[in-house]
Structures are given as C-alpha cells and as structure tokens.
Amino acid sequence: MKQNFFAVDLGATSGRTILGTFIEGGLNLEEINRFPNHLIEVGGHFYWDIYALYRHIIDGLKLVAHRGESIASIGIDTWGVDFVCVGKDGNLLRQPYAYRDPHTVGAPEALFSRISRSDVYSKTGIQIMNFNSLFQLDTLRRNHDSALEAADKILFMPDALSYMLTGEMVTEYTIASTAQLVNAQTRRLEPELLKAVGLSEKNFGRFVFPGEKVGVLTEEVQKITGLGAIPVIAVAGHDTGSAVAAVPALDRDFAYLSSGTWSLMGVETDSPVINAETEALNFTNEGGVEGTIRLLKNICGMWLLERCRLNWGDTSYPELISEADTCEPFRSLINPDDDCFANPADMEKAIIEYCRVTGQPVPEKRGQVVRCIFESLALRYRQVLENLRSLSPRPIETLHVIGGGSRNDLLNQFTANAIGIPVVAGPSEATAIGNVMIQAMAAGEATDVAGMRRLIHSSIPLKTYQPQDTEAWDAAYIHFKNCVR
Ligand code: LRH
C-alpha cells in the first residue's frame, strides 16, 4: 500500500505542509497548505508566533484527514537557532524570540570573556554568528529574562512543534548542532557550553538523531484533526540539513547552495573540518543526516529582495527578475553580508545608502536594485567558493543550487558566470523532499541517502547553466573586492 508522508517545512518568511508519496520510479509531492511566517515587532523586540504556526500545521493535517487519506508519519523541519522555554508545568513560556532581534548584538564577545572564542569554535566547529542559540541563551541569562529564569526545558523550534503535537520533548541532533550547543566530535550536547550559559542536559529533551520516533499525536490532536495515533518522526529538524540531504548528486565532488532567505554554500564531508583556517574564515560544521557534516558558510540570500519587496507591493518575482535583466550590468555592488542589511527598517534605502557611502552610482529604479542584489550575490558566492575550495577535502566540479531560489534563472546564470563551473538548479522543494526522505527511511521504504539522491536525480527536472561572459565577470569580481566594504 502506498504510504503518505506529511512534511512540515517552516522557513523564516513562509511555511508549507506537503504530502510526499513514492510512486513508480519517483516521488510525488503535493502542497497541502502554504502560509506566511511573520516577524512580530513588539515592545522593542522581534518574536515568532509559534501558536499561529501550530494552527497552520493542524489545518494541513485536517485537510488531509478530510480527504480520507492516510498518513504514515509526520516530520517537521524549520529554520535554525530559535527556541522556546517550557515551564515545569509543561507550558510554553512566552513566544520565541526571532533571531533577527538586535538583543544579541555583541553577545559573542560577552560570552568570550568567560570561555574563549577558540574554545567555543574548536568544540563545536560552528561559525560564530550573534544569533546562534548559544549566544541567545547567554543574552537572556544576562538580561534575567523571565521566561529563561522560569524554564525547565529549552526546545528548538522543530522540537517545540513536535512537542505540541505529541507531548514528547526531544532535542534533535541537527537543530542542536546549528544552535552551537553540540560537540562536533562526540555529537552530543556539550556540557561545558551548557554550563557557561547556566544550563545542563536536564534542561533539554531526550537526545535523538534523524529517523528516530518522537511520539504519536496526542489524543487532543487526534480529536481536532480526525486522525489516529500517527507517529511524529524526528527528521533533520534543521531545514538546511533536510535540504542538503536532497541534493540530486550522483557523486560527492560537488558544492551546494541552499537558496532561500539565506544562501547556505558548502560541501558535505564525513567528519568535521575544524582548524585554524576554518576558524579564521568562520566556516561552520553543521551536523547532517547519516553522520555527514555540512562544511558551509551563511551568506545573506533572498532576504535582501524579500525585504525590498515590502516596499514594492505585490510585484511578482518574474516581473522583478525581468526588470533586472534589462538594466546595465555591474552598475553598483554591495557586500550582501554587511551588518547594515541584517534587519534594516527599509532594505531599499539601506542598499542605496551603502552605494552612496562606497562612492558608487546609487540605484535609481527597482530593476537596478534587483540587479545590484543578484550580481552582488553571485560575486559573493564566488568569494565563498574560493575559500571553500581551499578547505574542502574533495574537488568541486559542480554547484547544486537547491531551494526556492533555484527557480531564479537570472541569478542561476549570474552564479555560473561568476564561479566558472556549471550550476545545476533544482529541486526547489529540496527541504520538503529531504524531510520526506528521512521519514521514508524510518518507515523502511527507502534505504539510504545516496539511493534517494539517485531517485531525485532521475525523477525531478533539473536545469544546467554553463558559465558565459567569464571575462566580464572576472573583471567585475576584482571591482567587487575593491568597492565593497
Ligand atoms: C535557513 C537557516 C540557516 C540558519 C538560519 C537561521 O533557513 O536554517 O541554516 O543559519 O536559517
């Protein structure tokens, strides 16, 4: 009998639930519901609405139940690093802070006065970024945050939602790894880091790896949705972990770019690569499925455009892309990772201001802003790929672009031009596919990631972009390195 796997995939700007079913020689994905995920600004802070996300998941489950379809299991993946505090009575204590909240500015330095930066990096192998859960927790501790002070347990977003569905508390490995709380060698929570932020392993749920069962739907959820005691499986709870599991590669000599709100560029390795060079370049070693490690770097991605679109009403992506296509090349460039783009009140103004301050022509129309974003991203990809080549244990012959951003033809072509090797784009729903894959492996319907990758490669249409205009892009790269700050 065909089995349906229900994947919940939540990103920082939107979420979706998907029903994945294996069919003859392939995988069928059906979107059940899609919904926005908003940063909520109140009282000088930014939060997520976990109850709204929960309700959307319930709605998705109800839709499937009403069709009379069966569900073999449920898996949840979300963006990284955010968490909720849970009280002794099992209740959630306040909505979770969003990682764009500025309260963690300067947080790493505050922690490093007690435990050195090198010590934190050598234990975890995780790139130092203000918003990592380690620094968020330390910020809350320093601020005597009432939720943290009353917390019995800390649950990362995917684990918190699984808890709301099952009543069972777990700490899934991939999401704990990107939190900067896991020791990269032991692959368990690192007691010394927990202690540094006033916590211990008792403050976390049962530690599980992708493929393990969290529990089954509570009676309450069964009643609300009309479903039975369906198991919830811990997938790669970190969305990037699920996405990279679904890279449609036939060998391992590739780099990937998981393209969404963030652009995550890296390679897959069998063990952590933690040395002076990775530390200096601030590369991360995130735990993945089947014991793999993602040696990667975060690059500010579609966030730049997503935020500009707030000013531009309902203009569609294809419209914006075609406006950019007709604009003059390399008119102005930005460093997408400059701090000023982390969470500005007005992204378009922030880009214009950056160009003005760096002595470049300021974008005067929408297409020029979009072109500036795409060209700058492509050039930044080249810069990160160059670093990656010197760190990677394997050659890099192809770049696989996966995730929603892989639908952007213009950016894919710019990327191939900038990096000088072929770009293979797709699948755009890699995260949901990776989520379904892990559930299918847990159900015994799939055997391993390599086999699944072959299946994705043969059954999902992929598009290859060959490098063009490489001389112009080489010149632009030199200009990029000189003009951005
Ligand atoms: C992408 C992502 C990324 C994290 C960021 C917070 O959605 O999970 O891997 O660094 O969100």
Q: What is the mean pLDDT of residues 319-339?
A: 97
Testing ligand 1's pocket by substitution, the residue of 262, 265, 283, 337 carrying the most ligand atoms inside 8 A of its CB is 262
Is the beta carbon of 264 within 6 A of some atom in ligand 1?
yes
Q: What residue ranges of the chain are covered by domains with CATH 3.30.420.40?
A: 3-237, 243-426+462-484
Q: What is the mean pLDDT of residues 281-308?
A: 98
Q: What is the mean pLDDT of residues 112-119?
A: 97
Measured in Å, residue 127 CA sits from the centre of ligand 1 at: 12
pLDDT at 314 over 90: no
Q: Is 13 part of any known ligand binding site?
A: yes
Rounded Cα distance, 181 and 232, in Å = 24
Q: Is 403 part of any known ligand binding site?
A: no
Is the beta carbon of 173 within 6 A of some atom in ligand 1?
no
Per-residue pLDDT tens for 77-100? 999 999 999 999 999 999 999 999
Strands (E), 101-233: 153-156, 170-172, 206-208, 213-216, 231-233
Identify whether the C-beta of residue 157 lies closer than 8 Å to the C-beta of residue 176: no
Q: Which amino acid is at 440?
A: A
ipTM reported for the complex, 2 dp: 0.99
pLDDT band at 24, cuts 50/70/90? Answer: confident
Per-residue pLDDT tens for 167-182? 999 999 999 999 999 9
Per-residue pLDDT tens for 207-264? 999 999 999 999 999 999 999 999 999 999 999 999 999 999 999 999 999 999 999 9
What is the model's pTM?
A: 0.98
Q: Tokens for 29?
A: 């994905």
| Proportion of the chain in helix, strand, coil states, percent, rounded to 5 | 40, 20, 35
Q: Which residues contact 314 (CB under 8 A, 6 or more apart)?
A: none
Q: How many residues does the chain have?
A: 485
Measured in Å, residue 130 CA sits from the centre of ligand 1 at: 13
Q: What is the mean pLDDT of residues 292-303?
A: 98
Which of ligand 1's atoms lies nearest the C-alpha of 99? Answer: 6
Q: Which helix (H) or strand (E) holds 138?
A: helix 133-142
243-426+462-484 maps to CATH 3.30.420.40: yes
Which of ligand 1's atoms lies nearest the C-alpha of 129? Answer: 10
pLDDT at 2: 84
Measured in Å, residue 426 CA sits from the centre of ligand 1 at: 19
- Could you give the 3-state DSSP secondary structure of residue 208? strand
CATH T-level assignment (fold) for domain 3-237 = Nucleotidyltransferase; domain 5 (3.30.420)
Give me the catalytic one of 49, 239, 314, 469.
239
